Amino acid sequence: MLKKLLVLLGVFCIIFCSANNNTDVPQVNGGDTPGETHKKLALLVGIDDYKVVSDLSGCINDVRDMKDLLINNFEFAEDDIMTLTNEEATHKGIVDAFRSHLTAKASAGTIVVFHYSGHGSQMQDAQDGDEQFDHLDETIVPHDSRTEGKYDIRDDELNGLFNELTKKTKYVTFILDSCHSGSGIRGLGIPRRVEADLRKPPPAEPYEVSTRGTSKKDNRFENLNYVLISGCQAEEVSFETILNGVRRGALTYYLVKEIREANKAEITYQDVMDQVKVNVTRENNTQHPQIEGKLLNNYIFSDKSNVTVPYVPASGKGDNVILEAGLVHGAVKGSKYYVFKPGTKNFDDPDEALADIELTATNAFSSEAKIIKFKKAKNPGDILQASRAVEYEHAYEIETFPIYFLQPEDVKDYFPETSITLTKPDDSDTLKKTASEIGKKPHYVIVKKGNEAQLLLAEVQGKIKIYRNSGQEIIDSAVSTNAAGAAASVMKQLEHWSKWYNVLSITNSKSKYLEVELEVKGITNTGNREGTETMRVPTQQFTHEDEINFIVKNTGNKKLFFVILDISSDGSIAVIHPKTGDGEALLPGKNVDITDQEAFVADNYREVTDIIKVIATDKQLNFKFLEMDAASARDLATKGIDDPLTRLFKEAALQSTTKGVRPKALDEWVTTESVFKVTRK
């Protein structure tokens, strides 16, 4: 089978624009002084606090994370990055800043980034019917929108602004972490969407440009050459959720994460988005990112020399070292770093490091570390401001698994089209016993909001049922409240799914020496499936009994051993190659084509989603212990396991009763994933 936990957070568009170099643009306020040039410019907008519509919580975190990426990984000058947050981000404020900070200052060759994180919506069409599909423009929602005389910024206005900008430079990246036309979809987190504004719209601005088709419902500016990355399909909704203990938009989070962790100097939008799509959909199975355009293989921000081995700015403070990376960046207490002098580009030789350090405390945006060993440095004072720290051992922490007990009043949100009746949890003996058992397990937590949970529990007509965070029932999960040991049976199912999620979540893309790629191809009985020439996109849909080929490539310079796991949305995990579970050897530059696979959907499912995970290691290990069928979780012992990576995966699968970190050298293993859906005909 095949699995896909797709969680799409927001209509997140990355538009990499290309146009001519004509410099005739409208005069705007706040232009450059004569002779001043700007190689890189960015405008970052984040709105958590709205005047009228519902507030959000993760948008300013998104702005901080993006700013950190641009400065520390792409060497943007801080003075060339303008941020607008909350009350600064009015309709006028955003438009004026775009024209004065970006358009007026740009010249041929300037790299420009515009990032918006906030609500998306729709409003009445002001362009005499260019929106023939539903007469609504897609919009972003400024801080002051929906107040008297204040409106959203519609797609035609954004298109006009970018049309002006791309007359001056072709290196423009446009990022929207918001949503637009989707509605009525539940998911893990808070939706970044408000209802359409149906007031009579103001007249269109002179610079607005409409090129929209009659049935396209996303921000696609068709007069430009671009890469368009949409955080969700047109009918879906973007979400923000808690990731690594901090609330933010998942699309921005995973985009930044993948760019930071890229360990090669040249990385394209396609390279990044292959993994971003997997990660986002894994978080929320009601959201599906899309990517299209002519420039999929252009380098991120059009500068192939900028992405180097990812590093974190660091500086000495007293007897310790402060790193400018925290929970937002995936920093974990117990992880180890080498610290190099400011300006270092090559981090391959640990003997050239100033010191070897270990994180002792983390908060949202920074961490504190103790010095394990001095190398080139003699004391903390030698670790100057803007030193560069590179992680070499990550302390993986098994995440606390959140569970929510559905209340009777949740019916209208999760099951609006049914007459289902939910028993109040306090009135259900089985749910109370289950809650008591959950409280004894350190890896579980009962949360107070459904949008913060991975799984939902409810008593429905004398049966305990388990639902995904989207409200989709897990098939065959119902346990009768009259059955002997009902609470124990429910706990067994929760243990199964928490193990499943944990195995899914363990990833590593930071190895400097191991590099592996996965290509998925589908073949039907009548020949090549339509579109196989673009099979790099990991969201191919298959039907039951289609033949599927997996091609694993060793793109690094070191021999590796790999296994392929099929992690299916029906709750199963299977080692599909090699069948023994032992890693198969693969030399540098070589491929293995696995042709004996068939798409499969069990009789009681209409469709399933599969995540195909490749685990590559520098020595042969066996991963057969990870297998479990859709109905049960295995009880595996970890005693006597000496290999740290095997123990890491086993403890993830077992939900070890001892919560803590599992250190693992990052260079010894690497993972990659692909997601696709399988349906019955």
User: Which residue, among 338, 309, 24, 296, has the nearest Cα to 163 in the 3D structure?
Assistant: 24
What are the two backbone dihedrals, phi and then psi, of residue 427, each rounded to the nearest 5 degrees? Answer: -100, 5
Q: Which residues, at least 6 apart from 51, have a Cβ–Cβ distance to it below 8 Å? A: 143, 144, 145, 146, 147
| Beta-sheet pairing, 541-543 with 669-679 | parallel
The whole-angstrom separation of Cα 156 and Cα 679 is 38
- Give the tokens for residue 344: 């270092």
The whole-angstrom separation of Cα 14 and Cα 617 is 33
- Give the tokens for residue 27: 């005069």
Map residue 433 onto helix, strand or coil: helix
The whole-angstrom separation of Cα 400 and Cα 244 is 10
Map residue 65 onto helix, strand or coil: helix
544 is catalytic: no
Map residue 11 onto helix, strand or coil: strand
Q: Say if CB 39 and CB 109 are below 8 A apart.
A: yes
* Displacement of CA 177 from its chain's centroid (Å): 11
Active-site residue (options: 38, 91, 115, 119): 119
Active-site residue (options: 13, 59, 179, 232): 179
179 is catalytic: yes
The whole-angstrom separation of Cα 371 and Cα 357 is 4
Measured over the CA atoms of residue 67, residue 71, residue 73 and residue 75, the dihedral's sign is positive
User: Which residue, among 456, 444, 455, 447, has the nearest Cα to 411 in the 3D structure?
Assistant: 456
Q: Say if CB 248 and CB 62 are below 8 A apart.
A: yes
- What distances in angstroms separate CA 405 from CA 183, 243, 459, 490, one per listed residue? 24, 21, 9, 13
Cα radius of gyration (the chain): 25
User: Which residue, among 676, 623, 675, has the nearest Cα to 645 in the 3D structure?
Assistant: 623
Q: Say if CB 281 and CB 233 are below 8 A apart.
A: no
What are the two backbone dihedrals, phi and then psi, of residue 47, each rounded to the nearest 5 degrees? Answer: -130, 110
Query: What DSSP designation does 144 have?
Result: T
The whole-angstrom separation of Cα 314 and Cα 368 is 10
User: Which residue, among 183, 185, 260, 271, has the nearest Cα to 229 in the 3D structure?
Assistant: 271
Residue 54 has a CB neighbour count (10 Å cut-off) of 11
Q: Say if CB 616 and CB 559 are below 8 A apart.
A: no
- Give the tokens for residue 370: 């103790």
Q: Which residues, at least 6 apart from 672, have a Cβ–Cβ distance to it below 8 Å? A: 275, 509, 516, 517, 518, 613, 614, 616
| Beta-sheet pairing, 455-460 with 401-405 | parallel
The residues annotated with a catalytic role in the active site are: 119, 179
